[in-house]
Each structure stands twice: as structure tokens, then as C-alpha cells.
Amino acid sequence: MEVDDEMIKSIGEEEEKRKPIVVILVGAPGSGKSTFCDHVMRVSTRPWVRVCQDTIGNGKAGTKAQCLALSNTSLKEEKSILIDRCNLDREQRADFVKLGESHQVDVHAVVLDLPAKLCISRSVKRTGHEGNLQGGKAAAVVNRMLQKKELPKLNEGFSRITFCQNENDVQAAMDTYGALSSSDSLPSGCYGEKKADTKVQLGIMKFLKRVDPPNRVRSDKTVPGSLAEIPKENHFVDAGQDQQMGSENGAHPLDSPPPTLAFPSISTADFQFNIDRASEIIVETVEEFINKLGNARLVLVDLSHGSKILSLVKTKAAIKNIDHKKFFTFVGDITKLRSEGGLHCNVIANAANWRLKPGGGGVNAAIYNAAGPDLDTATKNRAGSLAPGKAITVPLPSTSSLFSKEGVTHVIHVLGPNMNPKRPNCLKDDYNKGTKVLREAYLSLFENFASIVNAQEKLSDSSSVKPDSHSHLDGISNCDQKVRREDGASNTERNKKLKGFIGETESKTLYSVDVKENAINSGKKSQSLNKDWGSWAQALYSVAMHPEKHRNDVIEVSDDIVVLNDLYPKAQKHVLVISRAEGLDRLADVREEHLPVLRTMHDVGLKWAQTFLSENESLVFRLGYHSAPSMRQLHLHVISQDFNSKHLKNKKHWNSFNSPFFRDSVDVIQEVSEQGKATLNEDEKFMSMELRCNRCRSAHPNIPRLKSHIGICKSPFPAPLLQNGRLLTKSDAC
């Protein structure tokens, strides 16, 4: 037996030695992920497999599914894997983390968080790239990807995260992993993360959440504003220019982006004006004017990858500490800022000719071509010529493609000084006069923009409707508000997903009827009628009152109830049994006279659970109510206890069904029968409880780990759940 024990011990140790690891590389194109993989695989004695989406399809680009399949096969063969994808956001990393957890191996992240300028430069210059991301197009791609950057955290399921913020860090990380033998392991934790940088990045990521959703804003990172306060590793660049996330100045994601003027330099090569002096004038006039614009923004744009004017301006603006939220630089085509660069500018400036004619070259030709003949017609209606140092605003007709495709509502023509002897009004070498004219041109441009902003604000004020005093969220518990926000973005989006359950007009009508009935009713007012429900929260009420309008969604209907599949199921099987009783909006409204309704709902719920169990006898069901529901109209959850659903994403989702916040139907019926009402557990603390398995009650750090555990946990359910018919199994159904 001693020999056998030693053999078993030896085998166990050998298995531990061969235990592979998953290393997920996180970084933009050009950050050095492939170089990292090649180095590690070349020098390491540990068996590694590089999983690269650019080449996984027989040397060509493939899919994420193919990457996961290769990763799974490699882990089964006890080979460590290097995930060579950008993996810039949590969602992109999640499946690989989950795969590592399913194989019970450590999952590491190596973050190549290098300055974006360096990544862009590498991407633009390289040739023969596996994914063909090279040349000029690489800049825009890198910018778009960096906007989604979400640095990994340990709570995603990583056991170790290494942050590399310069090439020395990268080399050190390559050496670390390259030195690993099959029996080596690395300590857990975060390494190389800079605290100050993290704070700045969190602020930048906050901006990301506030930008216009369809068109996330990018701007120059190293210009205007305190350059020293913004670490380079958080820059977003285009063709060699550092880019910064543009701020919406505190706007809500559903709000329109702030008024933004994109303007080119109007005094450089075309007019042969001294570029250093020109940059000084831009910064001086911006500094003078910026505080007059409220939350509006100014963006200096240049198409050139190595623009000297942008470089000079950003340096000078940084020295003057100009607010980088209100003024920044941007590399891109001024006629395609939204479609190609993600920067929403409602006003653009044109470096016009004095005749205000299309044609010529540069910005003038580009803007007229993009706007179409509508701009020429609109310009002629405003003026026939323009003097140096002056600007004129031309509202852009909605028929213009520049309006419809890019969201540009106005073009401001501006004429700078002419230092070119081949053109009229040449100032020759009179830079004193030229400087004055140039300054006047920028001031006139900004004044025209300010007029547009003021006019829009007045129009908004005069046409705005006084908001309903009944907030969509008033009266709803904080925890339930958060659960609802996490499940889908906006009420508008949720209404669309509800397939017409309730529209904006209908919700207002329903609400007004309730208010009217409440006023008519004599005696005490119903608690539910004093609660305000937003339009999204009215969806179940609409179905209950008018099931005939929702035939495609209702799976059972009677005089007392309707049954629906939950729109965001938190388990394999999850249906809602909804009461059709008027005025019975939530559990708080239930009284003894409602016992027949509760029993009917419970019986229907049992019937559906039994139906599901006849299809899959391995399931276990629980029936219950949320103490503080997010949607109007009393509804019973019939939910299987596997919680295998992509919609179960966070702690609040889990705890809303696995804490005292969830009241079992049998207990509710008993309490109402004995006490006349049900006990409500609405405290926020229930939503913030640690994640514990609903069977063995073991604690887990995050949802992926919890789900992985639940999938294999065979422990019996806690004794309280096994009592009083709180759980329904196949044997119970029989």
C-alpha cells in the first residue's frame, strides 16, 4: 500500500506539473502581440500553442469560434495557449476566461498597453501583415478599437494580470513567460499597474460611456489640455497623431453630443503663412473664445498623417492648459468625421476662396464635393464673395448628403490671409497685417459658431416640454433600478425589444387613465396607484389588460392570468404568470382578498413547471415574487434553478433570485392568509450580498466562476428550500 500511495502521489505531482495555463493578450493592433507569442514559443520549454484569429482559417482570417475550438483542443492536450487577439473589452475576453475555468487552469492576461501613437506607427508602416491591417487604413481601425478598450480586472476570472506600458515592460513579460518550464507557475495578482494612470483611465472610460452611442467620439489625446496629466498609454491616435476620447461634458448617453465645430487650419501651405506663427494664433484665439462656448467644442482637423500644425498646436495648447474636453485636434477627413472617425461634428468650417465657389483643391473642394450642389445653391443665396478675415454661416439643407450621412447642419465659410502672390489680395511679406487678418478670421469663425449654438439653445428652450413630474424611477427600489439598467440600455431600446408590448403613446394613455381613475375613486388610494411607473415598466400591465394585442407573445391566457416567456430569461426555463386584476401592481398591493388570485397564479405556475419537467426531468423549479419588482402588474416567476442563461450577467441578477429579496409563492400565500399581507425584503443589502451557490452555498468571486461551479455542483439544496414545497422536481410533479 505504501508503494501504491507513492505512485499515486507521483502521478498527482506529474499532473500538477503538466497543468497548462491560458494567457490572453490584450492590446491594439501594432502593440506587439504576435511578437510576444513568437518570442515565448521560441525560447520556452513549455509546450505552447498560439491561437491567432488572423491565421486560424488555414492561414487566413477566421472566427472567434474557431479560436475557442483550437484553445479547447490544446488544453485537452495539456498545452498552454497564447490568445493572440486584441481582446480589448471584457466581452471579447469572457469566453476564453470561461474556457480556462472549465478546464480548471489558471487564466492570465498580459496587457500591452503601449502608447497608441506607437501602435499606429507600427501598423501603418508594416507590410505583409497576417490580417492585412497595414498602411493608411490601419490608423482608423486602431482608433475604433481603442475606443472600446476596457482594461482587464481580476474579478473577470483572471488569476494574474501583467500590465506593460512601454517596450521594456513588454520585454520583461516576454522573458517571464519564456522562462516558464512545464513545472513552473507564476504568483497571482496584478503586476505593473500604475495607480495614477488607472485613475486617469477610469475617467477616460467614463467619457466613453457618455458619448453618442452610435458614434463614439475620438479626439486628439496629447493636444489641448494638460498633457502631463494624461498618460500616453491611454491615447487614441490616428496616423501618428495622439488621440484622446472627447468628452460629452457630462451628457447622458441618450443625449445628443455637445455642439461641435470642426475646422481646418486656414493659413498654412495654401497661403504660405509661417506655420509656427499660425499655430500660435490658433491657440491664442481658442483660449480667448473657449469659455464663451459653454459645453460646445472646437476641433482642429487635418488630413495629414504627420501634420506639423497639429503637433505645434497641441504642444502650445498644453502649455496654456486649455481644457482638452473643449478643444482638441483630430486627424481625419473633415467630410467623414462621423462615418470614418466616430467624431460627431454638427458644424464644419471651410477654408474657402474669396469667390465662395466650388472647385480648386484641398478642403474647399472636398467639402463642396461631399455636400453636393445643395451647398453651392445655399451659399449663393447667402453671399457672392468673402473678404479676408471674415466668415459666413450657411445652413446645410437636409437633402445634402453631408447632412444625412455625417450629421452636419451648418458649413461656415472662412477666408484667411493670402500670402501667395499668385492669388488676389496678396499681402506679400507683410506678416504683421497677415497676422491680424488671420486672427480676425478665426475670431469670426468662432463667433459664427457661437451664434449657431445660441440659436439652437433658444430653440430648444422655447420648444421644450415640461417633464412629467412622475419620474420613471421614483418609488422603485435602488437595487431593482440597477438590475433593470443592467439588463438593457435605455427604455426606448427596451420598448423596441418588447415587440410592441407598449408604445410611447400607449404608455402615456395608460398612465393618464390610472391617474383619472385614482382621482375618481373614493376612500383610500391604492398604494400601487401612488407609485409611478415608467413606460418600459408598463409593458406587463399592457399585456395583462390587452392580451389580444399580443397574441404572438402570450403563451396562455384566461380571465385571471396571462403567461409569457421572460424576455430576459435568467435560466433555461423562465416564464411569468401575470395577474389580470386591475390595481394589483406588485406584492405590496396584495391583501387577504387577493388570496384566490395568488392561488390561481401558483397553480398555473405549477402546471408550467410540470410541463417543463416532463420535457427535461433533470430540472428543478422555484416559484416566487420579487419584493420590489421593476415592472408594473403582479407577476410570478417560474424559474429553473440551473441559471444557465446569457442574460444572467451580474451580482444583482443572481441575488434577485437567490436572496431573501425573492419570496417563495407558497410562503407568500401562507403569510397573506395568516397576516393579511406578505413580508417584503426590499433592502439594498440583499442585492450586494456575495455570490453563493444556490446548492452548497460556497462563495465565488464573479459570475463566470459561479456559473462554472453551478454546472458541476451536485450538492443537495439547502434544507429551507427543500421544505414547504418551495422547490419542484420531477418526483414532486409525479
338 and 330 Cβ atoms separated by less than 8 Å: no
pLDDT value for 284: 93
pLDDT value for 518: 33
In DSSP notation, 150-184 reads ----GGGT-SEEEEE-SHHHHHHHHHHHHT--TT-
pLDDT value for 594: 93
In DSSP notation, 451-477 reads HHHHHHHHHHHHHPPPPPSS-TTTTS-
Strands 662-664 and 621-626: antiparallel
Cα–Cα distance, 163 to 161 (Å, whole number):
7
Q: Within 13 Å of residue 56, how many CA atoms lie on the same side as its CB?
A: 19
pLDDT value for 482: 37
Cα–Cα distance, 275 to 315 (Å, whole number):
14
For residue 177, what are the CA distances in angstroms to 16, 105, 124, 156, 723?
Answer: 18, 16, 28, 21, 53
Supply φ then ψ for residue 15, to 5 degrees: -65, -40
Is the pTM higher than 0.85? no
Secondary structure string (H, E, C) spanning 252-308: CCCCCCCCEEEEECCCCHHHCCCHHHHHHHHHHHHHHHHHHCCCCEEEEEECCCCCH
Give me 556's grid cell.
396562455
Type and span of the H or E element at 30:
none
Cβ partners under 8 Å of residue 611, min gap 6: none
Cβ partners under 8 Å of residue 484, min gap 6: 476, 536, 630
pLDDT value for 678: 94
74 and 49 Cβ atoms separated by less than 8 Å: yes
3-state SS assignment for residue 104: coil
Give me 420's grid cell.
501667395
Cβ partners under 8 Å of residue 675, min gap 6: none
3-state SS assignment for residue 119: helix
Beta strand ranges found along 596-695 (DSSP E): 621-626, 635-640, 662-664, 691-692
Domain boundaries, the chain: 19-113+151-193, 211-460, 478-733
Supply φ then ψ for residue 541, to 5 degrees: -60, -45
Give me 694's grid cell.
444556490
Averaged in consecutive runs of 10 residues, what is the pLDDT profile of the chain (734 residues)? 47 56 92 90 90 85 90 93 91 92 93 86 71 64 78 90 91 89 82 56 37 37 30 31 32 56 77 77 92 88 84 90 89 89 90 85 88 90 85 90 90 85 71 85 92 72 38 33 40 42 34 31 38 71 90 90 94 96 92 93 95 92 94 96 94 94 96 93 87 93 93 92 90 66
Give the closest residue to 330 by CA, choosing from 305, 362, 302.
Answer: 302
Neighbours of 292 (CB within 10 A): 12
**DSSP state at residue 352:** -
368 and 402 Cβ atoms separated by less than 8 Å: no
β-partners of residue 14 are none
281 and 318 Cβ atoms separated by less than 8 Å: no
pLDDT value for 293: 82
Cα–Cα distance, 43 to 36 (Å, whole number):
11
pLDDT value for 698: 93
**DSSP state at residue 241:** B
10 Å CB burial of residue 21 (0-12, 13-18, 19+) is buried
Q: Which residue has the cell 504627420?
A: 306
pLDDT value for 15: 44
Instruction: Tell me, yes or no, if 602 is annotated catalytic.
Output: no
Give the closest residue to 512 by CA, choosing from 493, 532, 482, 487.
Answer: 532
Same fold, 19-113+151-193 and 478-733: no
362 and 271 Cβ atoms separated by less than 8 Å: no
CATH 3.40.50.10680 fits 478-733, yes or no: no
Q: Which residue has the cell 467623414?
A: 336
Q: Which residue has the cell 425589444?
A: 497
**DSSP state at residue 192:** S
Q: Which residue has the cell 481658442?
A: 286
3-state SS assignment for residue 490: coil
Beta strand ranges found along 133-292 (DSSP E): 160-164, 189-191, 218-219, 244-245, 260-264
329 and 299 Cβ atoms separated by less than 8 Å: yes
Q: Which CATH number fits domain 19-113+151-193: 2.40.30.10, 3.30.470.20, 3.40.50.280, 3.40.50.300?
A: 3.40.50.300
Rounded CA Rg of the chain? 31
Cα–Cα distance, 636 to 604 (Å, whole number):
10
Give me 554's grid cell.
402570450
Query: How large is the angle between the packed helices 90-102 and 64-76, nearest 10 degrees?
Result: 20
Catalytic residue among 410, 626, 635, 637: 635
Cα–Cα distance, 263 to 442 (Å, whole number):
10
Give me 304's grid cell.
495629414
Supply φ then ψ for residue 206, to 5 degrees: -65, -40
Strands 80-84 and 48-52: parallel
565 and 529 Cβ atoms separated by less than 8 Å: no
